[in-house]
Amino acid sequence: MDAPLSFSVSTKKGAARAGVLTTHHGEIQTPAFVPVGTKANVKGVLPDALKAMGAQVVLANTYHLYLQPGEDVVKNAGGLGKFMNWEGPTMTDSGGFQVFSLGSAFGRTITKIAKGEEAPREHGIAVFDEDVASQHGQLAVIDDEGVTFTSHHDGSLHRFTPERSIEIQHALGADMFFAFDECTAPTEPYEYQKEAMDRTHRWAERSLKAHRQNLSANKKQAIFGIVQGGRHLDLRKESAKETASMDFDGFGIGGSFSKEDMDGALQAAIPELPEGKPRHFLGIGEPTDVLTGIAEGMDLFDCVAATRIGRHGSIYTRRGIKHLKGAEFKDDYGPLDPETVVPGTEGFSRAYVSHLIRSKEMLGSVIASTHNLGFILALVDGAREALHAGTFEQYRADFLRDYQSN
């Protein structure tokens, strides 16, 4: 194929849709969940296990790979996919969320998705980048040209601009990557949300220009623009319209809004985006949120929550989240989730995984993380099948009934 990607919608019901996204490293049946391999690894899960559970594409992080091992190491290995022994399509984010984690969100339990006026932890676990939240003091300063930050590894000084982010992502070689943006906290005032949105638009133009100037990268890598605007529907609409006017290959919708406002934020943005290009919901991976995104017309989703809560001993089930450290699971010899059996986790009981987690044995985190990723992937696969069958609305309603009955 001459273009970096192609996308076609095969089924549509209301706003929800299913389609096929084709890259140089294979097809992605959409809607699809994208496991996050921040440092070129999905934590605790081998590539073969990802493939066995149906993962189609993985996403890695520009900020982290820039610091370790460096983009040249990845490039010299043959690009992200070869470096991590993953044969399918790959994506990279721009590092913009790490700016958020290092800057205004540093040391706070502010997440991309807020509830009311407070941005809570997700299942009691902070969702900002825990790998950069291990020091004290704000580590990033944003200006109109870019962001200056100190490494959370050794305190060394670094700077990202849109052009530098694109240069790094070209070296990483993913099939799809994102323009450099500013992700704001949901609690920021309207005036700052607009300022950050306008800056994101300027950075989008610079990111796009830097990419289009690299003729070789243009043939192999697709660039996605990002819609911002916080929880404000007028800003979401404005941002979507402005970003859609640029020649991006696809579009991402950034977080930073109230959970209760998710529907409205999507409904404000999506009609302004081209129908024939893919849409990615950044940092969204909770089961109910994914189904909301699908219902509103999103195609791709990524989130670290599945492996993160797994490492802390919590698992997704059809009947809600189960915290296996709880005393009630110590003698529970039933399967992790009798309604969703994930390849590689068959035969492990809740009692056994509870024991491993309590004992701080690595295998417990591996099993729980594998189960959670498989659960989300199976949920999205089922949603896609339901879209093709014309039964998505019932599929979603049945899941919400069961999940919220816990």
122 SS3 class: strand
Alpha-carbon gap, residue 372 to 342, rounded angstroms: 9
Cβ atoms of 254 and 94 closer than 8 Å: no
In 366-400, which positions are buried (b, 16+ CB within 10 angstroms) versus exposed (e)?
Answer: bbbbbbbbbbbbbbbbbbbebbeeeebeebbeebe
Tokens coding 131: 């790998």
Give 295-327 as a DSSP string. HHT--EEEESHHHHHHHTTEEEETTEEEETTSG
CA dist 400 and 288 (Å) reads 7
* Residues 11, 79: Cα–Cα separation, whole Å: 33
Q: Is 234 part of the annotated catalytic residue set? A: no
Q: How far is CA 102 from CA 130, 137, 285, in A?
A: 10, 9, 22
Catalytic residue among 249, 302, 332, 398: 302
Q: Which of 236, 238, 254 is nearest to 93 (CA)?
A: 254
Q: Angle CA(121)–CA(38)–CA(322) in degrees, nearest 5?
A: 40
Annotated active-site residue 93? The verdict is: yes
Which of 48, 93, 249, 289 is flagged as catalytic?
A: 93
Show the tokens assigned to 17.
């849709």
Please list the active-site residues. Answer: 93, 302
